[in-house]
Structure 1
Amino acid sequence: MRVRQLTAYVLRVQLRKPFRHASAVRNYSDNILIRAELADGTTGWGEGVPRDYVTGETAEGAIEQLLATPVSEQLAGEPASWLEVIAICDRFQPAALVDDPRGSYGNSLRAAVELSLLDAYGKLFGEPVSKAIEAYPGVAESLLARSDSVRYSTTIDAESKRKLWRSSLKMRAYGFRQCKVKVGADCDADAARMGVIRRWIGPRMDLRVDANEAWLPEKVLQHAKALAPFDITCIEQPVAHEELASLTELRRELDVPVMLDESLTSLHDAHEAIRLSACDLFNIRISKCGGVLNSLRLAMLAKEHGLGYQLGCHPGETGILSAAGRHFASVVRDIRYLEGSYDHHVLATVPTMPDLTFGYGGRAPALTQPGLGVELDLDVARGSLRDERVITVDE
């Protein structure tokens, strides 16, 4: 069954409250949505969340990139199996409109198109997207393990100190096992915040920190020492990407694992991090890394080199990306930390159905419906749509 048409939308997703970290303050997210339609009328949805300070992308730029891409040529064919669908997804390469030495510009668009195809063909085949992950050629059995449920971690952003005890107590009462805390460049302030958080969140919570590139290389050990009393299990992206090489030496003196996020956007980035011995874990995000298939490749590479990985998310993801992450997490094993499915907790209005927000303790069931198992409610989303373009694929 051929792809007949793609419809691209820019959706402005309002957040319930501003989300703060060292690199940005965000009140909304402009997302790129793709609706793929097959020749028989079967449709599928995909989503990408462009972040200009991570991969240089914007939602408007993603539309421009899609219009410049020869989609009729790249998406041609009538796939009858997951292997053939994967081949078409791999052929889709957004037009190179800018210099892209890291191979990440266009990743949000790539993710959105790929997910729309996996969703549509999953519905056509009557199988969930998780089956496509399991069918990926060359994936080692040691990387896969199907689970009936997953468990998400939570996050405390860079909010004021006076609110910390309330947020911490709430996370503890809700039964989470893991919590990420956003930290910044003020060592003393971060240590004071972590003291409040650890006091109220309890001694059993697995706490990790995310600096979002805020630390200078010469200050990393000082920051880590200040946070050591609070038993943190990971430091995410301590330095700016431009200072990545500094982590080679710093890791020899750190007693806590280092995770890369802004420095881990592509297979090029991953190979460079491995070459430099710059990290212990990858933060894989489906949109940032260019889709489910690229995310799987990154997990495979991490496993091959003895590294860990988490599956992360972006604030502002709708249920489309929540569903994609759920499918990934329910079949890929050894995910150290899992983020996502924050829908009702983060979004002012949830434009997808059914509701995929995790439950008590961050628990959520695996998705077994054909495709992604989620649909965009256009009636709810209509007022937030900022652009719409139709691209004919099958003339």
Structure 2
Amino acid sequence: MGLVRIEGFHVALPLKKAIKHASHQRTESESLIVRVTLDDGTVGFGEGVPRSYVTGETIETALDALESVDLARQVGAPASFESAVDRIASIRLPSIEDDPRGMFGNAARCAVELALLDAFGRRFGRSLSDAIRHLIAGRPYLRDRPGPVRYSGAITAEGARKERISAWKMRIYGFHQVKVKVGVSGQDDPTRLRQIRTILGNRTDLRIDANEAWSADELPERVAPLLDSKPSVLEQPVPHRDVERLADLRGRLGIPVMLDESLCGAPDGVRAIDAGLADLFNVRLSKCGGIAPTLRLIDLAFQHGLGVQLGCHPGESGILSAAGRHLASNLLGLRYLEGSYDRHVLAENLTAPDITFRYGGRAQPLPGPGLGVTVQDAPLERMTVARRELSP
């Protein structure tokens, strides 16, 4: 039951419309898809979303990171599902261990970890939820059983008319939480937020995400006029190079601060706790290296009384959507949840069935072995830009 083959696919997923924020804009989403094959022929799929402006990775560096390590030796030939999960959770990539922030190679690790969990889950007839429950058995934030979840909506930086339409859609669709992108050059954020708040009403939890848009020196004056709209959280207001300044600024802003781009690996999490840089962590599977490293960051946050958002990568396929669903379905205490936007964002997906959230952002746990979704051959071939055979 060992690992005999690893294939990497550079995939370009078409978006329904451009995704724009202060750090980047894209009309398609590039993902690393990993397919693993076990010696009994069982196949599993995983996904990572390398972003050079987040973890420094590209598709090529992620593939190189996987090529540099003997994964077959690390995984071995586990005789049980629990043994397989423990070995997969312990996978180490030199590029991550050599990085002071513990992040260069996280997308690669996430992709291969999910692929292996999917494959061994199918081999033993167990789900990704079973793997998660095994890894955090006994934790106070583990649900008694996988349960339903509720996702939040997001309004990206667009023209005023489109943003008003998006806000009305969020209200009509019954979202209880909405995130708004701020900090894009040339936009009047105070006016935008007031208009969106008026449409959503006062009962909707409205949070804002600046995506590193502001310098530490200008941060207080940028935030002050936004507080009239009663945003609940400010996500990643400054570039990572300025993040240490939040230790002094955070208490003067009048709004809780969430880290995203400055929270990619375990060293980031420890530093944020020690220096008092944040009130909340935004963990994302690809950014943080997969299920096991993400759970460690969640554990760190909960131990120190911080809130947690389980985020997603805009444009991710149904593979990462499914992984996020399994994680969210088994956790208590998540403050915010993003993901499963699939058909609302992608013009075409890789997976079936469709697991896009329903009215109000509501969604159910996923049944079946492994990830609970199937990667379809035809879309995978159609969207593949390049592929590489990797040494197991």
Tell me the TM-score range normalised by the shorter chain.
Answer: over 0.9
Q: Give the whole-Å Cα distance in 2 for the aligned partners of 1:274 and 1:95.
A: 25
Partner of 2:3 in structure 1?
3
Task: Tell me: CA distance 1:388–1:188, structure 2 relative to 1, closer, same or farther (3 Å).
Answer: closer
Partner of 2:127 in structure 1?
128
1:327 to 2:326 alignment: yes
Counterparts of 1:215-294 in structure 2, within 5 Å, are 215-294=214-293
Tell me, yes or no, if the aligned pair for 1:185 and 1:215 is still in contact at 8 Å. no
SS of 2:140's equivalent in the other structure is helix
SS of 1:141's equivalent in the other structure is coil
Tell me, yes or no, if the aligned pair for 1:47 and 1:320 is still in contact at 8 Å. yes
Task: Tell me: CA distance 1:50–1:343, structure 2 relative to 1, closer, same or farther (3 Å).
Answer: same
1:144 to 2:142 alignment: yes
Partner of 1:78 in structure 2?
78
Task: Tell me: CA distance 1:261–1:219, structure 2 relative to 1, closer, same or farther (3 Å).
Answer: same
Tell me, yes or no, if the aligned pair for 1:187 and 1:223 is still in contact at 8 Å. no
Task: Tell me: CA distance 1:72–1:56, structure 2 relative to 1, closer, same or farther (3 Å).
Answer: same
CA RMSD of aligned residues (A): 1.7
SS of 1:388's equivalent in the other structure is strand
Task: Tell me: CA distance 1:72–1:121, structure 2 relative to 1, closer, same or farther (3 Å).
Answer: closer
SS of 1:124's equivalent in the other structure is helix
What whole-Å deviation, never above 9, does each CA across 1:200-223 have from its counterpart, x for those lacking one?
122221100000011111222222
Tell me, yes or no, if the aligned pair for 1:187 and 1:226 is still in contact at 8 Å. no
SS of 2:348's equivalent in the other structure is coil
Counterparts of 1:94-109 in structure 2, within 5 Å, are 94-96=93-95, 100-109=99-108
Q: Which amino acid aligns with 1:89?
A: I
Q: Give the whole-Å Cα distance in 2 for the aligned partners of 1:86 and 1:267.
A: 20
Tell me, yes or no, if the aligned pair for 1:164 and 1:196 is still in contact at 8 Å. no
Q: Give the whole-Å Cα distance in 2 for the aligned partners of 1:264 and 1:49.
A: 16
Partner of 2:352 in structure 1?
353
Gaps of 5+ in 1: none
Q: Normalising by the residue count of structure 1, what TM-score does the alignment of the two structures yield? A: 0.95
Q: Give the whole-Å Cα distance in 1 for the aligned partners of 2:120 and 2:230.
A: 45
Partner of 2:22 in structure 1?
22
1:174 to 2:173 alignment: yes
Tell me, yes or no, if the aligned pair for 2:236 and 2:262 is still in contact at 8 Å. yes
* CA drift at 1:186: 5.8
Task: Tell me: CA distance 1:239–1:97, structure 2 relative to 1, closer, same or farther (3 Å).
Answer: closer
SS of 1:303's equivalent in the other structure is helix
Q: Give the whole-Å Cα distance in 1 for the aligned partners of 2:378 and 2:184.
A: 43
SS of 1:218's equivalent in the other structure is coil
Task: Tell me: CA distance 1:135–1:383, structure 2 relative to 1, closer, same or farther (3 Å).
Answer: same
Tell me, yes or no, if the aligned pair for 1:251 and 1:278 is still in contact at 8 Å. yes
What whole-Å deviation, never above 9, does each CA across 1:235-282 have from its counterpart, x for those lacking one?
000111111111111112122110000000011100010111000000
Q: Normalising by the residue count of structure 2, what TM-score does the alignment of the two structures yield? A: 0.96
Tell me, yes or no, if the aligned pair for 2:22 and 2:185 is still in contact at 8 Å. no
Partner of 1:307 in structure 2?
306
* CA drift at 1:72: 3.1
SS of 2:135's equivalent in the other structure is coil
Q: Give the whole-Å Cα distance in 2 for the aligned partners of 1:153 and 1:341.
A: 10
- With 318-327 and 252-261 compared, the bigger mean Cα shift is at 252-261
Q: Give the whole-Å Cα distance in 2 for the aligned partners of 1:12 and 1:98.
A: 29
Tell me, yes or no, if the aligned pair for 1:248 and 1:278 is still in contact at 8 Å. yes
* CA drift at 1:68: 2.3
Q: Give the whole-Å Cα distance in 1 for the aligned partners of 2:81 and 2:348.
A: 36
Task: Tell me: CA distance 1:357–1:8, structure 2 relative to 1, closer, same or farther (3 Å).
Answer: same
Q: Give the whole-Å Cα distance in 2 for the aligned partners of 1:261 and 1:5.
A: 34
Q: Give the whole-Å Cα distance in 2 for the aligned partners of 1:348 and 1:295.
A: 29
* CA drift at 1:64: 2.1
* CA drift at 1:99: 6.0
Q: Give the whole-Å Cα distance in 2 for the aligned partners of 1:26 and 1:3.
A: 35
* CA drift at 1:141: 2.6
Task: Tell me: CA distance 1:187–1:19, structure 2 relative to 1, closer, same or farther (3 Å).
Answer: closer
* CA drift at 1:383: 1.6
SS of 1:92's equivalent in the other structure is coil
SS of 1:101's equivalent in the other structure is coil
Q: Which amino acid aligns with 2:266?
A: L
1:387 to 2:386 alignment: yes
1:55 to 2:50 alignment: no
Tell me, yes or no, if the aligned pair for 2:9 and 2:33 is still in contact at 8 Å. yes
* CA drift at 1:97: 9.1
Tell me, yes or no, if the aligned pair for 1:66 and 1:95 is still in contact at 8 Å. no
SS of 2:14's equivalent in the other structure is strand
Q: Which amino acid aligns with 2:359?
A: Y
Q: Give the whole-Å Cα distance in 1 for the aligned partners of 2:301 and 2:290.
A: 17
SS of 1:29's equivalent in the other structure is strand
SS of 2:162's equivalent in the other structure is helix
Tell me, yes or no, if the aligned pair for 1:56 and 1:105 is still in contact at 8 Å. yes
- With 278-287 and 64-73 compared, the bigger mean Cα shift is at 64-73
Q: Give the whole-Å Cα distance in 2 for the aligned partners of 1:249 and 1:81.
A: 47
Partner of 1:377 in structure 2?
376
Q: Give the whole-Å Cα distance in 2 for the aligned partners of 1:55 and 1:353.
A: 29
Tell me, yes or no, if the aligned pair for 1:168 and 1:201 is still in contact at 8 Å. yes
Tell me, yes or no, if the aligned pair for 2:147 and 2:330 is still in contact at 8 Å. no
Q: Give the whole-Å Cα distance in 1 for the aligned partners of 2:70 and 2:243.
A: 35
Tell me, yes or no, if the aligned pair for 1:150 and 1:363 is still in contact at 8 Å. yes
Q: Work out the percentage of aligned pairs sharing the same amino acid.
A: 46
Q: Which amino acid aligns with 1:142?
A: P
SS of 1:143's equivalent in the other structure is coil
- With 68-77 and 214-223 compared, the bigger mean Cα shift is at 68-77
What whole-Å deviation, never above 9, does each CA across 1:75-110 have from its counterpart, x for those lacking one?
32324132x223322442234399621110000010
Q: Give the whole-Å Cα distance in 2 for the aligned partners of 1:187 and 1:298.
A: 35
Task: Tell me: CA distance 1:307–1:118, structure 2 relative to 1, closer, same or farther (3 Å).
Answer: same
